[in-house]
Amino acid sequence: MPPAERREPAWWFAFQRNKLLVRMESSRVSLPWLVNFEEVGLIPICQHYLGSLDGRHCFAVELAEEVETPPGMTLEGLRQVHGRLDEDLFWTAARAVQIVEWDRTHQFCGRCGVRMNARPTERAKECPRCGLLHFPRLAPAIIVLIERGKQLLLARSKRFATGMYSVLAGFVEPGESLEEAVEREIREEVGLNVRDIRYFGSQPWPFPHSLMIGFTAAYAGGEISVDASEIEHAEWFTVDNLPPLPGKISIARKLIDAFIAKHRHEEEFSRHRG
Ligand SMILES: [Zn+2]
């Protein structure tokens, strides 16, 4: 629930589609910090209260497609502002863009077609005619690093930047457990079997509304055979021989960095033992 009365400034996460309104300050970007969003000189289509961050209220705002950015401000994709915006504000922006996108794309009931109402007490929309409820949409996806001794499997999708390799990922299907999704994706994309599937960590991925659930798995058999519709090339690599990797923002990179740290440590340990 938004505060009933507010005199102090708040953070404003304003999006035009998936681009965030920011002020560029050399290598840093900053967000509007104002009592009312209209002070930037724009009228939003709607605003959503997000909660508070370190005692400061945060709002998400949707901008019309045709608005012009105020002087000194630009609209930037979230990937472009990562590392240039405070980390907590960045992940709040990742939450904000998903709420704005959900609101924009769930204006009408999917069953009977009438305009949905916002529920006052929770983040949900309700159809006034048939009662259908919509909650913000999340698409769970698994992401998995496959180990074989000192090697890890990395693959190239056709969608990747030139030369870049990453770990395998894919959406969870209805009726599937996360572990089953891991086994199926690996079988489909590279034709391998795995064992010892272990949870690694998770990360929201607002492009546009995924939740990435990370795992490690051990190679258990099979020869690499790529599904050419999804994967261009897949190969075993060692930590001394890695291709260009995804950026630090991604859980893919955290999985790979954890593998590198573990194997560097093992190498040093065996060197010390002589
Ligand atoms: Zn309805």
The secondary structure of the chain in percent helix, strand, coil, rounded to multiples of 5, reads 25, 40, 40
CA of 88 to the centre of ligand 1 (A): 37
Cα 117 from Cα 76, distance rounded (Å): 30
User: Which residues, 6+ apart, have CB-to-CB distance to 53 below 8 Å?
Assistant: 11, 88, 89, 92
- Digit-by-digit pLDDT tens for the chain (274 residues) are 888 888 999 999 999 999 999 998 878 999 999 999 999 999 999 999 999 999 999 999 999 998 899 999 999 999 889 889 999 999 999 999 999 999 999 999 999 999 999 998 899 999 999 999 999 999 999 999 999 999 999 999 988 888 999 999 999 999 999 999 999 999 999 999 999 999 999 999 998 899 999 999 999 999 999 988 989 999 999 999 999 999 988 999 999 999 999 998 777 777 777 5
CA of 172 to the centre of ligand 1 (A): 27
CA of 133 to the centre of ligand 1 (A): 9
This prediction has a pTM of: 0.89
Residue 172's pLDDT is 98
Residue 88's pLDDT is 95
Q: How far is CA 103 from the centre of its chain?
A: 18
Residue 230's pLDDT is 87
CA of 127 to the centre of ligand 1 (A): 5
Q: Which amino acid is at 51?
A: G
Cα 90 from Cα 133, distance rounded (Å): 29
Residue 225's pLDDT is 95
Looking at residue 261, what DSSP letter applies? H
CA of 107 to the centre of ligand 1 (A): 11
CA of 205 to the centre of ligand 1 (A): 30
Residue 187's pLDDT is 96
Residue 26's pLDDT is 79
Residue 274's pLDDT is 59
CA of 99 to the centre of ligand 1 (A): 21
Residue 156's pLDDT is 96
CA of 190 to the centre of ligand 1 (A): 43
> What tokens does 155 get?
């693959």
